[in-house]
Amino acid sequence: MENENNNVEETKEEIVVANQDNSEIKIADDVVAVIAGVAVSEVNGVASMAGGFAGGISEVLSGKKNLAKGIKVEVGEKETKIDVNIIVEYGTRIPDVAFEIQNRVKKAVETMTGLKVLEVNVHVQGVTTDVESKEENKE
């Protein structure tokens, strides 16, 4: 890749990639989280992202879907660690879903940012069932 000769510096809220000609590209930590969130949302078996109470309130108030919900990113100089909190659909094989999430997130983040993904930790926070949604539709 072209990014092998680049220097990466970490600041509080963004990643700075310095190219050979001393120009800089700044990538906010939130961008890495959104990239990971989009990759997770494409995996079959993921019902939703598990986020805190504050994340749900901000979605309601802003009217926008928070694509970084349930994603925690730790960025080093040239590497990153990502934690993903999900709710799975009932009946899906959790190890298969988690493995697919790890592969897609790693590929997406490494391709788009040039950072090496050291870890993608998947935390299953719950299971959603079709029974709940069928009961709501009957009422």
Write out pLDDT tens, residues 113-138: 988 999 999 999 999 986 655 555 55
Q: Show the CA angle centred on residue 14, arms to residues 87 and 59, nearest 5°.
A: 40
With a pLDDT cut of 90, the percent of the chain lying above it is: 47
**Positive or negative torsion for Cα 115, 119, 125, 127:** positive
List the domain range (segments joined by +) for residue 41: 29-138
Phi, psi torsion values for 117, nearest 5 degrees: -90, 115
Residue 19 falls within a domain, yes or no? no
Residue 21 falls within a domain, yes or no? no
pTM: 0.73
Using an 8 Å Cβ cutoff, are 117 and 79 in contact?
Answer: yes
Residue 51 falls within a domain, yes or no? yes
Residue 97 falls within a domain, yes or no? yes
First vs last Cα of the chain: how many Å apart?
56
Q: Give the tens place of pLDDT for each residue, 52-71.
A: 654 545 455 555 567 888 99
Residue 4 falls within a domain, yes or no? no
Q: Give the tens place of pLDDT for each residue, 88-111.
A: 999 999 999 999 999 999 999 999
Residue 33 falls within a domain, yes or no? yes
Residue 18 falls within a domain, yes or no? no
How many structural domains are present in the chain? 1
Q: Give the tens place of pLDDT for each residue, 23-43.
A: 677 777 889 999 999 999 999
> Domain of 63: which CATH number?
3.30.70.1350
Residue 95 falls within a domain, yes or no? yes
Using an 8 Å Cβ cutoff, are 98 and 58 in contact?
Answer: no
